[in-house]
Structure 1
Amino acid sequence: MTVHDSELDQYGVVHNAMYVVYIHKAREEMAASIGFSMTSIARSGNAMAVLELNIKYFKPLLRGAKFVVKVRLVQIKGTRILVDHIIETLPNREVRAQTITITTPCTDQSSHKHAPVDLL
């Protein structure tokens, strides 16, 4: 990925909200690469919703920076999925931010009850 001007705050660094966009995109791409479709989950009446997100910032991303978001599935426990993300610059792989955990419950949109684990 590349940092674009529209993603910067008034100080010339990536706005903190953009990190959430970056990790969401990376998580969707990782899921798609293993045959897991967010679209098919939504069509089935279920939803993947972020319950908790903790980000530790080490150093800001700057205008034009090239970076990668590494995604690691930590645990599936019941209906919750814990995922870690690390944002690194390219080509030197300097860590800029890391999510401590993301806890994502899978719920039925109509009843708001947890969906079955086999959906995952």
Structure 2
Amino acid sequence: MGHSLGAQVILSTVELLAKNSENNGIIESVHLFGASIPANSLSPKIHGNKFQKIVNKKIMNYYSPYDDVLKAAHDEKWVDSPIGYRGALGTACKKYHQKQVRPQNHRFASYAKTIKSFP
């Protein structure tokens, strides 16, 4: 589970784990909340194939076009179209799913209130 910049920690971890085939399927699922990684990160040509191998079941992205922090990151070009702002761009790996939510603010607690159950 990663919120905001925590999504970068997940991405870096998956990249590292993907270097060893013994790690295939080692992560049960990934859940992103207000993620600040680029919107094309889960494309098979970028990191999607690595996620596809390392994650056993699914990758879930909870995104919000109402998130002011991610809007600022997008508008100021601090992050190239954050995946947590408008969802994935283009084709993503097969295990990727996304859901638009409307949190009150960028805090994790606000995102958590938008989902009925976890995982």
Normalising by structure 2, report the TM-score.
0.26
Structure with greater helix share of residues: 2
Which one has a bigger Cα radius of gyration?
A: 1
Structure with greater strand share of residues: 1
